[in-house]
Amino acid sequence: MLDREFKASGGKWGKCDLGELFHIRSPKKKFNANKLSFTGEYPYVARTSNNNGIRGYINESEEYLNPGLTISFGQDTATMFFQKDAYFTGDKIKVLSLKDRTLNSSIASFLISLMKKSFSTFSWGSSSFDEKILKKVQIMIPQINNAPAWSYMENYIEELEAERIEELEAERIEELEAYLRVTGLTDNKLTASEENLIPCLTSAMNCAGGGWFAQKTVACEWGMYLIFPQGSGHFMPTH
């Protein structure tokens, strides 16, 4: 449906330089991670590919904070993350902000996926640190009337997220049904308190990993409980 509407509106894909879309700036001040104490409140963004690029949290003068609602770009690693909040950073990080609108997480996710594709074949070296070269890197973006189709990008990501939520809900239902079959509770009617416990159980399974086949600890209104692997038949309080 979304693609049909896009094409019906005259939408097409076209090449665009990063410099046309973004202001590409160096951080206001580069902080050496080896000299920092990570006991603060503001994110320190590095070139790591983990934890949204955040190495830790520091306290420095707020005048050197880089603005939130931007993309942090690691020049020699091509790591890219949407940064919702203001942040500090170190060397070889560029700060990307859209020229004609405020960036949000959906549009950032769409553009980052396109940028990663372009940079996957990039030949990294000393020249890759040059801001002028970064500005000339081309990506293919959806356009309407030769302008970026922002609404299409935003709606595309939102649809994907909605589909993922539906998939997760279906997985939770399947896990619950499997648990009820094993415990012989498929014909039992749950009380209101028991129904309220279901989100606690499914949340514990999803957060800890391993589905119903790994030992977990879950907290509910009755206390803290250990859930043992499927088939063991154990569900017991920890104290």
CATH of the domain at 22: 3.90.220.20
Q: What is the pLDDT of residue 236?
A: 45
Q: Is residue 142 domain-resident?
A: yes
HSE value, Cβ hemisphere, 13 Å, CA-based, for 114: 21
Place of tokens 């014909």: 187
When pLDDT is averaged across residues 201-216 and rounded to a whole number, the result is 51
Answer with the residue of higher pLDDT: 132 or 65.
65
pLDDT class for 178, splitting at 50, 70, 90? confident
Q: Is residue 197 domain-resident?
A: no
Q: How many residues does the chain have?
A: 239
- Judged against a pLDDT cut of 80, whether residue 234 lies above it is answered with no
Q: What pTM does this model have?
A: 0.70
11 token code pair: 């939408």
Q: What is the pLDDT of residue 149?
A: 95
Q: Is residue 202 domain-resident?
A: no
Instruction: Say how far residue 16 (Cα) sits from the centre of its chain.
Output: 24
Answer with the residue of higher pLDDT: 225 or 104.
104
- Judged against a pLDDT cut of 70, whether residue 204 lies above it is answered with no
DSSP E strand stretches across the chain: 12-17, 22-25, 42-45, 54-58, 70-74, 80-83, 88-89, 93-98, 138-144, 147-148, 216-220, 223-227, 235-237
Which amino acid does the sequence have at 123?
A: S
pLDDT class for 108, splitting at 50, 70, 90? very high
Q: Is residue 229 domain-resident?
A: no
Least confident of 40-49, 77-86, 199-208: 199-208
Q: Is residue 18 domain-resident?
A: yes
- Judged against a pLDDT cut of 80, whether residue 239 lies above it is answered with no
Which range of residues forms the domain containing residue 99? Answer: 1-156
pLDDT class for 235, splitting at 50, 70, 90? very low
The phi, psi pair for 188, rounded to 5°, reads: -90, 145
d(C-alpha 218, C-alpha 222), whole Å: 10
Contacts by residues 46-54 (CB-CB < 8 Å, ≥ 24 positions apart): 46/74, 46/89, 46/90, 46/93, 47/74, 47/75, 47/76, 47/77, 47/79, 47/90, 47/92, 47/93, 48/79, 49/77, 49/79, 52/81, 52/82, 52/83, 53/79, 53/81, 53/83, 54/87
Q: Is residue 85 domain-resident?
A: yes
Q: Is residue 87 domain-resident?
A: yes
Domain count, the chain: 1
When pLDDT is averaged across residues 67-75 and rounded to a whole number, the result is 95
Q: Is residue 15 domain-resident?
A: yes
